[in-house]
Amino acid sequence: MDLAQLQRQLVDYKTSLYHEDFLDEQFTQLQELQDENNPDFVVEVVSLFFEDSDRLLNELTKALEQQSVDFKSVDAHVHQLKGSSSSIGAQRVQKVCIAFRNYCEEQNVEGCLKCLQQVRHEYSLVKTKLEFMFQLQQQILSAGGSIPM
Amino acid sequence: MRAKQMLATMSHEIRSPLSGVVSMAEILSTTKLDREQKQLLDVMLSSGDLVLQLINDILDLSKVESGVMKLEATKFRPREVVKHVLQTAAASLQKILTLEGHVADDVPIDVIGDVLRIRQILTNLISNAIKFTHEGKVGVKLYLVPEPPFAKEGSQHGSDGSTANQSTTSASKTESYTSTSKTSSDQNEFHGKKNEGLCQNNSHREPGTPVTNGTTDGSEEQVELPATTVWLRCDVYDTGIGIPENALPTLFKKYMQVSADHARKYGGTGLGLAICKQLVELMGGRLTVSSRVNCGSTFTFILPYKGSTSCDSSDDPDDLSDMVDHDAMDEDETAGFFQFLPRTLGSLFSSNGSSRTQKLMPHNIGYAKSHKLDGLSENCYSFPMNNGPPKEIDSAVQISSEPGSSISHSWDPDNKSWICSEKSQAVEMKINTSGPQLPPKRQKKPDVGSLSKLNGRQQVLKNSTTSKPKILLVEDSKINVMVAQSMLKQLGHTIDVVNNGAEAVCAVQKHGYDLVLMDVCMPVMDGLQATRLIRSFEETGNWDAAAKVGIEQDSSQPGHTSPTKRIPIIAMTANALSESADECYANGMDSFVSKPVTFQNLKECLEQYLG
């Protein structure tokens, strides 16, 4: 694939991510923070998000496996996940977190488990997509091109 | 026509002696009167004011309709007008509302038009908005738009009396009402296009109803304008009681009867909506309304202005910065955002000699008290019951509005739409939003020259602590820290970061900060408690309260022991119930930005509090 095609593919891909609500305008904010002083900002923040989310999802799984679920702790973790996903623009993940917190408030284990499954799903989707997008970007850069923002 | 002329003449004749009567009554009211006499006089004054108001309106209306009204063409600054009108309204505001104004970056610094009439229209719309809004906000948004379709239907300028009396109405399913005096064949096209234009910016109205959120057609059929005509659109929006659909058609037909109280409160002669509409059309524009009961209303007028010769009316942001440079403006002239938060205690208690303020005070004290009893922390500050000097009161906690509103509105700058959420009990006092048409302007490096928006403080060229404001960021999430830090860096600030409330208190003990950005929900100690402790230090001069909860001052460090001025503490809130605006204010915070934090919000917040 030539450079122009790659760039077009990237643009289309990004557009679709926004269109399908995987990303929202907050992600655009991140991109705008990237500049020559901070050339890898987006990748760095997103990587941090992945790390953090992996940790949180593990904690959540553990917490919901307990005999007596500590909903306060579960809620605290979900709150964190909601905050970080909203900060990078991972809209679908954020939305599930909102529902998740409602179930925590109701102390509804079934609901929480369902949400956990959903949030894992959305998270893995957005992670895959972002990783693919970064790959495309890397390809473009390697081919000597620049990233169309 | 003759009847109208006669009415106009008679009105003139009637006005003078009536003014006389009212003036005499006012003088009488300053003399010694017993209770009964005072009451009678009040009625006289009310009635007199009302009639005067009516006569003025009739005169204005007939002047406009008979084409006698001459339009001025003066060079003026739209930002100043917006700011001034809001300031005036805020000064006499007796309710707890937020007034705000947004002027988009692409609006020219100077334009040419009839500033007096425009000011009158704006004043009237804002007065109406305030009148019918009991909680929330009233605001003005001013921005450049492409030449609207109705402009192509012929010029409306001049006093040739071409404004027809017949006004036909039609309502679209998006509840926006447009009234025009054009022929019906043009109407459909006009309405169709106009509604799309309106929909784009009024999508806050109808989260549930079908609204085309697409971009307006107008931008695609931009015609070559004479270089000096700019079209500015002004939305006056509110979170008030709204207007029912069946009332919309008559809104502009006959002006609402202005109550005498209304006239007294805001002074001057307001203009009825009918007059506003006539004036706007006389100037070549359109006045429309869109409303939703219990949500609010937006009155919109679009007017053409001649661009001032000293600058071009291009809406290219780069051009704007050139223009700014060229005119060597200072920050005030390009400031695009104004907000008047309800500084309820401070301003209402300060004496301005008006009897109205006195009347309101007991009400506000009552409000404050009941608010306090709403289960807030016991460390809440007590409110002085007497009319103490404003200085004491300023240090007390500010109360915001709407403890229990069931409908909250927020402008979501990311989606550029309004969110009218009915569940949330928290009222969001959104700090700032960018103008709807322009993405946030950004400077990668703090450039000294062109953009006057970045004022001097933000030049990070030296390390001198005297010129650079010290900012403390208190946030537990690493991701949020990274994002906020990057934004602040782009704004030219370096910051200190701590991860919870306790660390924040320690940091403040050691250094003086010019601003604290405080996350609310954090482990160990949350933002609300940290703020309370900091405020306690500011008020008592000691850190006893902090010591009580286990925060020991580090004796090895020479802390700054003298409580200097109050540090602005800005909450960063995710808008959960537990992070509501009320709680933030009650705990001593000055304001908040909503999460996720955007560059523009942060920038405007800093400008406001580091200004």
Test the B interface: residue of A18, A50, A52, A87 with most B CBs within 10 Å: A87
Q: CA–CA separation, B502 vs B480, rounded Å?
A: 18
Q: CA–CA separation, A31 vs B203, rounded Å?
A: 26
Domains of chain A: residue spans and CATH: 3-31+41-141 (1.20.120.160)
How near does any CA of chain A get to the CA of B434, in Å? 13
Q: What is the pLDDT of residue B439?
A: 39
What one-character DSSP code corresponds to residue B445?
Answer: S
How near does any CA of chain B get to the CA of A65, in Å? 23
Ranked by mean pLDDT, the top range of A2-6, A98-102, B93-97, B444-448 is A98-102
Query: pLDDT higher for B452 or B475?
Result: B475
Closest residue in B to A91 (Cα) is B596
Interchain CB contacts (distance < 8 Å): A and B: 71
Average pLDDT in the B86-102 region?
83
How crowded is residue B309: how many other Cβ atoms within 10 Å of its Cβ? 10
Count Cα atoms within 13 angstroms, Cβ side, for B329.
24
Closest residue in B to A84 (Cα) is B479
Cβ distance A80 to B477 less than 8 Å, yes or no, reads yes
Closest residue in B to A49 (Cα) is B479
Q: CA–CA separation, B113 vs B285, rounded Å?
A: 12
Over 70: is that where the pLDDT of B418 sits?
Answer: no
Cβ distance A83 to B486 less than 8 Å, yes or no, reads no
Query: ipTM of this model?
Result: 0.92
Test the B interface: residue of A26, A27, A32 with most B CBs within 10 Å: A32
Cβ distance A87 to B597 less than 8 Å, yes or no, reads yes
Set of chain B residues whose Cβ sits within 8 Å of the Cβ of A55: none
Going by pLDDT thresholds of 50, 70 and 90, the confidence category of residue B374 is very low
Set of chain B residues whose Cβ sits within 8 Å of the Cβ of A29: 414, 483, 487, 596, 598-599
Among residues B211, B200, B151, the alpha carbon closest in space to that of B180 is found at B151
Q: What is the pLDDT of residue B337?
A: 79
How near does any CA of chain B get to the CA of A67, in Å? 25
Span A98-146, pLDDT tens digits: 999 999 999 999 999 999 999 999 999 999 999 999 999 999 988 888 8
Closest residue in B to A44 (Cα) is B482
Cβ distance B479 to A87 less than 8 Å, yes or no, reads yes
How near does any CA of chain A get to the CA of B573, in Å? 10
| Residue with token string 């404001």 | B469
Closest residue in B to A80 (Cα) is B477
Over 50: is that where the pLDDT of B573 sits?
Answer: yes
Mean pLDDT for chain A? 92
Q: What is the pLDDT of residue B471?
A: 95
Query: pLDDT higher for B94 or B371?
Result: B94
Ranked by mean pLDDT, the top range of A7-16, B373-382, B416-425, B544-553 is A7-16
Query: pLDDT higher for B269 or B71?
Result: B71
Torsion of CA A93, A94, A99, A103, to 10 degrees: 90
Q: Lowest mean pLDDT of A17-26, B339-348, B568-577, name the range.
A: B339-348
How near does any CA of chain B get to the CA of A25, in Å? 5
Amino acid at B282: L
How near does any CA of chain A get to the CA of B417, in Å? 12
* Percent of chain B whose predicted confidence (pLDDT) is above 70: 55
Rg (CA), chain B: 26
Over 50: is that where the pLDDT of A34 sits?
Answer: yes
Residue A90 CA, distance from chain mean position: 4
Q: Lowest mean pLDDT of B282-296, B357-371, B576-590, name the range.
A: B357-371
Average pLDDT in the B498-510 region?
93
Cβ distance A82 to B442 less than 8 Å, yes or no, reads no
* Percent of chain B whose predicted confidence (pLDDT) is above 90: 17
Q: CA–CA separation, B393 vs B413, rounded Å?
A: 34
Q: Lowest mean pLDDT of A140-149, B187-196, B302-311, B591-600, name the range.
A: B187-196
CATH topology classification for B74-148+228-307: Heat Shock Protein 90 (3.30.565)
Provide the pairing of β-strand B495-498 with B471-474: parallel
Test the A interface: residue of B213, B433, B486, B500 with most A CBs within 10 Å: B486
Give the one of B440, B479, B521 whose C-beta lies nearest to A45's C-beta: B479
Q: What is the pLDDT of residue B24?
A: 85
Residues in chain A: 149
Going by pLDDT thresholds of 50, 70 and 90, the confidence category of residue B185 is very low
Going by pLDDT thresholds of 50, 70 and 90, the confidence category of residue B205 is very low
Span B507-558, pLDDT tens digits: 998 888 999 999 998 988 999 999 999 998 888 888 888 888 888 876 655 5
Over 60: is that where the pLDDT of B21 sits?
Answer: yes
Going by pLDDT thresholds of 50, 70 and 90, the confidence category of residue B286 is very high
Among residues B568, B589, B510, B517, the alpha carbon closest in space to that of B543 is found at B510
Set of chain A residues whose Cβ sits within 8 Å of the Cβ of B599: 29, 32-33
Set of chain A residues whose Cβ sits within 8 Å of the Cβ of B444: 35-37
What residue ranges do the domains of chain B occupy? 1-66, 74-148+228-307, 471-610
Whether the Cβ atoms of residue B50 and residue B263 lie closer than 8 Å to each other = yes
Alpha-helical runs (H) found in B387-467:
390-394
Q: Cβ-count burial of A72 within 10 angstroms (0-12 exposed, 13-18 middle, 19+ buried)? A: exposed
Average pLDDT in the B300-308 region?
86
Cβ distance B596 to A45 less than 8 Å, yes or no, reads no
Whether the Cβ atoms of residue B518 and residue B584 lie closer than 8 Å to each other = no
Set of chain B residues whose Cβ sits within 8 Å of the Cβ of A37: 444-445, 489
| Residue with token string 């006005």 | B15
Span B31-68, pLDDT tens digits: 888 988 988 888 888 888 778 777 777 777 777 776 66
Q: CA–CA separation, B246 vs B175, rounded Å?
A: 10
Over 60: is that where the pLDDT of B320 sits?
Answer: no
Average pLDDT in the B241-251 region?
79
Cβ distance B574 to A82 less than 8 Å, yes or no, reads yes
Q: What is the pLDDT of residue B340?
A: 75
Over 70: is that where the pLDDT of A57 sits?
Answer: yes
Angle between helices B599-609 and A25-33 (to 10 degrees): 70
Over 60: is that where the pLDDT of B233 sits?
Answer: yes
Span B119-168, pLDDT tens digits: 888 988 998 898 888 888 999 999 999 888 877 655 444 334 333 333 33
Q: CA–CA separation, B70 vs B48, rounded Å?
A: 29
Count Cα atoms within 13 angstroms, Cβ side, for B548.
10
Q: CA–CA separation, B313 vs B563, rounded Å?
A: 49
Which chain B residues touch A if contact means CB-CB below 8 Å? 413-415, 440, 442, 444-445, 476-480, 482-483, 486-487, 489-490, 521, 523, 574, 576, 595-599
Residues in chain B: 611
Mean pLDDT for chain B? 66
Q: Which CATH architecture has domain B471-610?
A: 3-Layer(aba) Sandwich (3.40)
Query: Top-level CATH class of B1-66?
Result: mainly alpha
Q: What is the pLDDT of residue A106?
A: 92
